[in-house]
Amino acid sequence: MTEANGAQARYGKLIGASLGPGDPELITRRAWAALQSGARWLYPVKKAEESSYALSIVERGGIAIPADAVELVFPMTRDADILAKAWVRAAQQTVELLAEGRDLVFLVEGDASTFATFGHLARVVRELVPQVDVETIPGVSSFAAAAATTGTTLAEEDETFAIIPAAYGVTVIDHLLDEFDTLALLKVKPLVDEILDLLERRDLLASTVFIEKVGSPEERVVRDVASLRGSKVNYLSLLLVQNPKRVRGELRRGCRKRQEQAHV
């Protein structure tokens, strides 16, 4: 895109501001500064003129929503055609705003680099306009906040930890339980009962905790996870599963071997 005199237009910077999973006190100082820098806000919604969870985090933090904040619609669907059109539309809208020369800050719940909309949006924008500068401000992820809230250690010493969307299914989850000491299963809503059945078969219900909308006023922690059977849970929910029975292999390539205590 060029100006009337032929000079190349000056594009604003696209900033992904991680807000944490729900508690505004988890917004970093860097993200807080970006929100108040004068950059124009972009925020995601599932439907036009619908409430935005990311926007609500900032509101609870006491920052007034600018009158010129712009919503970008990212529908919740598995229809590839609908999704592709939505991404292109959102990216084109973003590029048009960046062409005005003003920086844009895109509000991201959780961490912008972890299962977030921002990474895909930034990629498509750079495909359309390669010279656009992109900045990603890191933040607290939902599973990190959930671990802190529940007193769960995700990994220590030579333990292993994996993050997986529950949509991969119980067969994959069953396999990963043998490969990792702790699993963070994200977006468990569609498969709660199936996952609970698996955990019961593996005798892991007691070492599992459920967290919904962590850090928000609607936060819910359930340690008796079997009680969730047949109930509806929020989209923003996860399970932290620890497998104390996992048999570990030897560490290699110069790492120390785990010294198992001998039992008499």
CATH number, domain at 61?
3.40.1010.10
Q: What is the mean predicted confidence (pLDDT) over 55-68?
A: 95
| Residue in this structure with the two tokens 């955990």, named with its chain if needed | 199
Whether the pLDDT of residue 42 is over 60: the answer is yes
Assign residue 213 a region: left if phi > 0, alpha if psi is -120 to 50, beta otherwise? left
Q: Residue 216: which domain range?
A: 142-242
Return the pLDDT at 249. 64
Return the pLDDT at 78. 80
Return the pLDDT at 250. 61
Return the pLDDT at 256. 53
Total number of domains in the chain: 2
Looking at the structure, do residues 133 and 150 belong to the same domain, yes or no?
A: no
Instruction: pLDDT band for 108, please (50, 70, 90 cuts).
Output: very high
Q: Is residue 9 part of a domain?
A: no
210: closest CA among 231, 24, 157, 46? 231
235, 42 contact by CB (below 8 A)? no
Angle between helices 170-177 and 192-201 (to 10 degrees): 40
Average pLDDT, the chain: 91
Last residue of a domain, one of 90, 111, 137: 137
Find the angle CA(242)-CA(158)-CA(221) to the nearest 5 degrees: 25
Strand, helix or coil for residue 245: coil
Looking at the structure, do residues 123 and 146 belong to the same domain, yes or no?
A: no
Q: What is the mean predicted confidence (pLDDT) over 91-107?
A: 97
Instruction: pLDDT band for 242, please (50, 70, 90 cuts).
Output: very high
Looking at the structure, do residues 118 and 27 belong to the same domain, yes or no?
A: yes
Q: Copy the structure tokens of residue 36.
A: 């108040």
40: closest CA among 99, 98, 104, 95? 104
Whether the pLDDT of residue 254 is over 60: the answer is no
Q: What is the mean predicted confidence (pLDDT) over 46-74?
A: 93
Q: Residue 229 maps to which CATH number?
A: 3.30.950.10
Instruction: pLDDT band for 47, please (50, 70, 90 cuts).
Output: confident
Looking at the structure, do residues 125 and 158 belong to the same domain, yes or no?
A: no
Whether the pLDDT of residue 223 is over 60: the answer is yes
Whether the pLDDT of residue 251 is over 80: the answer is no
- Rounded to a whole number, what is the distance in angstroms from the first to the last CA of the chain? 76
196, 225 contact by CB (below 8 A)? yes
Instruction: pLDDT band for 54, please (50, 70, 90 cuts).
Output: very high
Residue 138 vs residue 47, higher pLDDT: 138
**Which of 79-93, 135-149, 181-195, 210-224 is predicted least confidently?**
79-93
Q: Give the chain's radius of gyration (CA, Å).
A: 21
Give the integer Cα–Cα distance in Å for 102 and 178.
50
**Which of 9-23, 40-54, 70-84 is predicted least confidently?**
70-84
Looking at the structure, do residues 127 and 191 belong to the same domain, yes or no?
A: no
Return the pLDDT at 7. 45
Q: Count other Cβ atoms within 10 Å, centred on residue 234.
A: 13
35: closest CA among 26, 27, 46, 23? 27
pTM: 0.87
Sheet of strand 70-73, all strands in order from the earlier edge strand to the far edge: 70-73, 40-45, 104-108, 14-18, 134-137
pLDDT by residue (tens digit) across 152-166?
A: 999 998 999 999 999
Q: How far is CA 44 from the centre of its chain?
A: 13
Strand, helix or coil for residue 232: coil
Q: What is the mean predicted confidence (pLDDT) over 45-55?
A: 89
| Residue in this structure with the two tokens 């030897």, named with its chain if needed | 250
Instruction: pLDDT band for 59, please (50, 70, 90 cuts).
Output: very high
